Chains A and B, each alone.
Chain A
Amino acid sequence: MTATTLNASRWRPAPALAAAIYYAVAGAITLAFLFPVAWVLLSSLQPIAGVPAEPDWLPSWLSLHNYATLTHVGAGLWRYLWNSLTVAIGSALGVAAIASLAAYGFSRFRFIGRRLAFMLCLVALMVPFQTVLTPLFIVLRLVGLQNSLIGLGAVYTTFHLPLGIMIMLAAFDAVPRALDEAAMIDGAGSVNLLWRILLPLVAPSLVTVVLINFIASWNEFLAALILMTDQSNYTMPVMLVTISFGYLGAVDWGALQAGTVITMLPCLALTIAFQRYYVQGLLAGSTKG
């Protein structure tokens, strides 16, 4: 209570009251933040009047009908989920592998043109990807990857490489070089050194890279909208926006809610499970070294 006695003239709420105010304010904000997510989840599970609730194991006030509808929208939910998953997983693993190799090269080797190579790899940090999207459309056509999921995956991998290299470089640089020398004396080659000794040590950074790139690619909209011209190659976000525009007929709000839930859920689950890694990745991205 020293604060109170020192500042007798200044009113301070009693601890219990302060706690009550704090929890009321923070609790109200928390509810407001949760509301859109909770509301769309509950709405998506609403049964439709006149349609029997399915499946039977759900309580009668819940139904997966809206999710079932989604399997008939456009090329079908499974197709869009497959597209999103392969592109997001492919590019997340691609960035992790290619950025690790590059960061290892930059961290452990001195070679002619190293500074230039480093600069070229990181130019993209200064240039917003929106700038290159239009010519990218033409480049993909020239290399025969137009309207292809592999092309989209390669594009995401490229866009996310600079940040991946920065994160992995910081991780490799933090590993003492004495370790390399010990391994070399034991006869390990540079591949063995990377694979058996260094990679396990930088595993947390690797998790960060995979996580932020999976979520970023899963969520990306503009590039997918531009580069995927065939409806069957749409990713989840593009499919969702297409539904919301009513391009596939009158807007089916139930399908829209179900699609929104499916698109949000993996990101929310991963963030809750790996919050620390995700935050670290985003912070690295914001300061860019």
Chain B
Amino acid sequence: MRRRGLQGWLYVAPALGLTGVFFLWPLAMVAWISAHNWPLIGRPRWIGWRNYVAAFDDDVFLDAIRFTVAYAAIITPVLFVVAFGLALLANVERRGVGVFRTVWFLPTSIGISTASVLWVWMLNGDVGVFTTILNALGLVHGPVPYLDSSMAATAAASSMVVWKTAGFTMILLLVGLQGIPRELHEAARIDGASYWQDFRHITLPLMRRTLRLALMLSVTGSLLVFDPFYVITRGGPQNGTISIVYWIYNSAFVSFRVGYAAALALLLLAVVLAVNLVQLVLLREPDDA
């Protein structure tokens, strides 16, 4: 361990410099900007708290909060059930299980906007493959209007998110599953426990920490969702699928209300920090099982 002061600073200086200019400076600016009426081009004007007051009068923003929370509440359990199923299937010793695991994990590496574009094409009423399949099966005739209701549009976008992210959640759960000592399962089997009893009384309790981690990742990720609802549903129909980040983007770069967007961003940051704090507390709590 060396104590020469200057040398240590020299090594961390590039990282500090970049972080300062491209992260800390803009982070400090968010607060400053949020207290202004700040057009993208032109003179900003100090207006104090008024952007924050306006946020709670903005029906689209309030709807965006409701929509985003509902989305997080729907996608998280679905993702968990699918990923847990995959993890259980991937946690066996059989020939070829490595191939299955790799394929299920593969969509993780595809960009979420790219996967969204893929879904736009597959969902298209005229050329989309889903329509072709449903028509071939004789279930419908002609184009299928997947994106005509908020419910259907959200479900369509969510199916992409599950496809893209289930494989990674599977890996997280798999790490947890493999951390359970094999002897515990063997002891349970000798005691005559069924597969379900083993799952319920050994697997689940010992996975608590992993489950909490996966839960928090899913919740924070869902609160920041943008791409699927910008690309697949474009916020529609009738503004029914506008997420929080979508509305911040819209306020800043479509309506050019930069100050207002900054206020919304700070509100979002407060929520995410609160969730992170809960996560820290929950993850610190020792496993009692």
A61 within 8 A of B: no
Query: Which of B49-57, B149-157, B200-208, B266-274 has 4 or more CB atoms under 8 Å from chain A?
Result: B266-274
A128 and B220 alpha carbons, distance in the complex (Å): 9
Enumerate chain A residues within 8 angstroms of B18, measured Cβ to Cβ.
98, 154, 157-158, 161
The answer to whether A237 touches B163 (Cβ under 8 A) is no
Which of B15, B175, B262, B266 is most buried by chain A, counting CB atoms within 10 A of its CB? B15
A271 and B107 alpha carbons, distance in the complex (Å): 10
A238 and B172 alpha carbons, distance in the complex (Å): 30
A264 and B112 alpha carbons, distance in the complex (Å): 10
Which of B10, B120, B171, B226 is most buried by chain A, counting CB atoms within 10 A of its CB? B120
Enumerate chain B residues within 8 angstroms of A243, measured Cβ to Cβ.
117
Interface of B, helix, strand, loop or mixed by DSSP: helix
Name the distance in Å between B278's Cβ and chain A's nearest Cβ: 13
A112 and B5 alpha carbons, distance in the complex (Å): 7
By size class, the interface of chain B is 35 or more
Number of interface residues of A (CB under 8 A): 92
Given known contacts A3-B189, A124-B23, is B104 in contact with A29 (CB within 8 Å)?
Answer: yes
Interface of A, helix, strand, loop or mixed by DSSP: helix
B253 within 8 A of A: yes
A74 within 8 A of B: no
Name the distance in Å between A83's Cβ and chain B's nearest Cβ: 15
Enumerate chain A residues within 8 angstroms of B118, measured Cβ to Cβ.
36, 40, 260, 264
A222 in complex: contacting residue of B19, B105, B227, CB < 8 Å? B227
B22 in complex: contacting residue of A10, A102, A158, A272, CB < 8 Å? A158
Enumerate chain A residues within 8 angstroms of B102, measured Cβ to Cβ.
272, 275
Name the distance in Å between A159's Cβ and chain B's nearest Cβ: 7
Enumerate chain B residues within 8 angstroms of A287, measured Cβ to Cβ.
213
B2-31 CB mask vs A (1 if < 8 Å, else 0) is 111111111110111011111111110110
The answer to whether B252 touches A7 (Cβ under 8 A) is no
B92 within 8 A of A: yes
Question: Which residues of A are interface residues toward B (Cβ below 8 A)?
Answer: 3, 6-7, 10, 19, 22-23, 25-26, 29-30, 33-34, 36-37, 39-40, 98-99, 101-102, 104-106, 108-114, 117, 120-121, 123-124, 126-128, 130-139, 143, 154-155, 157-159, 161, 165, 177, 190, 215, 218-222, 226, 236-237, 240-241, 243-245, 253, 256-257, 259-260, 263-264, 267-268, 270-272, 275, 278-279, 282-283, 286-287
